Structure 1
Amino acid sequence: MRRDELAGASVQVGPAMSHAPPGGHPAEAWRQEAGGVSDQVSGVLNPPENCITRHLYRLAEVGRLVEARDDRYETGQLFLHRIFGYRGVILFPWTARVYDRDLHNPGKISATTTASANPTQQNRTKEATLRVKANTSATPTAAQSGDAPSSAAFEANAAESTGTTNVGTASQVDPKEVKGKVQTFYQVLIDTRDCPYIRAQTEAVTFLGNQDSNRSLYAIPGLDYVAHEDIMPYSSSEKSPLQHELFDKFLTHAPDADPPFVGQDTLKAWQEKNHPWLDMSDVHKETTENVRITVIPFYMGCRETPASSVYWWRYCIRLENLGELSVQLRERHWRIFSLSGTLETVRGRGVVGQEPILSPRLPAFQYSSHVSLQAPSGHMWGTFRLEREDGYSFDCKIPPFSLESKPDDLGTSTPATPSAHDMKRDDSD
């Protein structure tokens, strides 16, 4: 179905279902009555064969799909997320350079798979236990989302999982060897009614707290970054079609405008004030065995102590299954290179405490995590160990990406926001 054929289709609210009911419009988006988003927008994915579904429900129309655009969407545009299905509204655009390694090797995305590397060799290195160490040496440290950017940091508890290298090693994973393509992304608000049903962290946009509370991470709930291609625009006649505490603070209803919501001065001031830590510049993609990994790094700022300076980044990762067989994420294996010349290996089970299953019905999972270096720049790369439903296991490559700091110290003050409910994260998790 061409995207222009979806224009004018009704967007309706109702119980979640895997496909449109008999006689339903192929472009209808179905949701749970509680506000949750179903696993797909009908018409985007095909329903299972020989499936008979009976439902007793009441639908309520929330808007109508409009024609997708090739040029940028305006502030205030309502949309459905193509992958995660949630309702959202666009705040403002970002311009990013996308490094897609698949464009340099189109054959990587295939309906068939090849044999993986020798499993005996892959299992030689034991899984390293991660422990918290109060005062780390000048090696890079990786922390899972929910842990504090402080002097406490995770390090490998096995000598075989940590090594050193020289600066020349970094050239082997330089992401700039892949030519980047400029694309548009958007800063968006997520409808809070949909947050419990999204297979992505809805508190993934984090920032450092004040210097006197440097053991804390803060997150603004319901803030996300969305690629232009993942926007499915729709219109609504409601004055407040989206539920988020910042919606009315950032946007105002303007019935004669298109879209009928325009940014207020508070949105412009918030964007200008928080631009440094919100800014996204690079996106990295790579596909292995029909599983695409997308990484977006963000510089968060520097924490200075009398003994050292610690630089912090957050990174957002999406795993997307493009194949027909379900896969489950079992392990992660990170390599973290610091400008100081050190190389650390970190292994662990799953990600952020989960081992998500990526099925044709629920093909994507997205999460955010953090890393610190005692150097102003570095690189990260690695693999995810995935297990397919037929028992076949393989290592899915995480594309290498740079960790670059900025001259301004972004971590000395809490970013201004009209929200009084920023969520605090500390190392008690």
Structure 2
Amino acid sequence: MRTVSSYGVEIRKQNIPARQTMEIYRQAVGYLTEIYAQVWEELRKIPETKKRFNTAEHMVHMTKKNTARFDFDLRFPKMPSYLRRSAIQHALGSVSSYETRLGQWKETGVLSGRPKLTCRNHAMPVFYRDVMYREGAEGKDEAYLKLYDGHDWKWFRVYLKRTDMEYLPRNWKGKKTSAPALEKRHRRYFLRFSCTEEVTLTKTPVKEQIICSVDLGINTDAVCTIMRSDGTVLGRRFIDHPSEKDRMYRTLGRIRRFQREHGSAQTQGRWAYTKRLNTELGKKTAGAIIRYAEENHADVIVFEYLEMQGKISGKKKQKLHLWRKRDIQRRCEHQAHRKEMRISRICAWNTSRLAYDGSGAVTRDRENHSLCTFQTGKRYNCDLSASYNIGARYFIRELLKPLPATERSLLEAKVPPVKRRTSCVYADLRKLHSEMELLKAA
């Protein structure tokens, strides 16, 4: 399996013409996008990607043997060839995507929602090695970039953040990184490096697997349970970041008061800061899940398939809107694959509603929503019970899937709840394992 990772190295020296370089590159992309939109009927007839690209380049670039149809070289003189080709590729992709979306829109017959061709997009220049990017001396946190100073393309020395330069060789040692791309985030400039790795995911048999079942929540960020196929629980952990959430909710309160007094016209900066806090909370939660799974040598990380559709209402609708459940799972999936762990998802219906001991539906506490009461009178943490059920559903599915139909029917007759996956709980896994052992012994 191939995974692609990226890391942004912050540029410390800011008095370099990075803004002018980004502007001239985006102007070139916008100009090329307008050109290729005009001649797309001619370009779309060329099926081969390489020939289409060469034809598009000949339209705008003058050589001894080629006369360009458009004045791109006059508008953007001395632009490095690699940067010009990157802009051509980006413009061709934008026009091709627009034409595809326009064709799909016409087929639907809907009058509203016509796609638009965006010429001034947020394209980022790529600095190819040796011709636009050179590494500094060994042991020094510096590099050399070819930038546009408003008149000409010149080499500039840039200083890079030391902690970032220490991270790359420590975590990507022996891996080939791609050419860096310049990007701007929060008024700072970064060099974004990408690395492609070939990883082999674990192929441990189901009966020998150790899984980490994760219940993502709002009150508690995540509850993890380490479990074996027979239902043995090897470990439990509650992952929560109360100080980070308190800081975010405090900023939300400030926004609420500001909007009440002054309206919502000047709250963009406050909302941007809140979103950054929320993103950082998701990163910390995903990192903590991966570290715990790695500490316990988990083969698979199991999540719920969380799909929330329709309008969200109620007093907790803002918390639900800010809940980065998909982003956490996406980050965990990428990091887990790098560590050769697999990711699996199960149906989320009734995982929190049903008690793990098979006693039936639980009653949530009104004051503390994380606690619940079983029908037997037992008080328990609802998220922990849900994490048991998540792991049990994964094992029930994986244990029954490869069995012959006759053997599976026999086990389903002895343990009826496993027929319907949305009602399976942890107690059903224990019963299923016992019946499988008896059937094996017989």
Q: TM-score normalized by structure 1?
A: 0.24
Structure of larger gyration radius:
2
Structure number having the greater strand percentage: 1
Q: Which has the higher contact order (CA 8 A, sep 6+)?
A: 1
Structure number having the greater helix percentage: 2
Q: TM-score normalized by structure 2?
A: 0.23
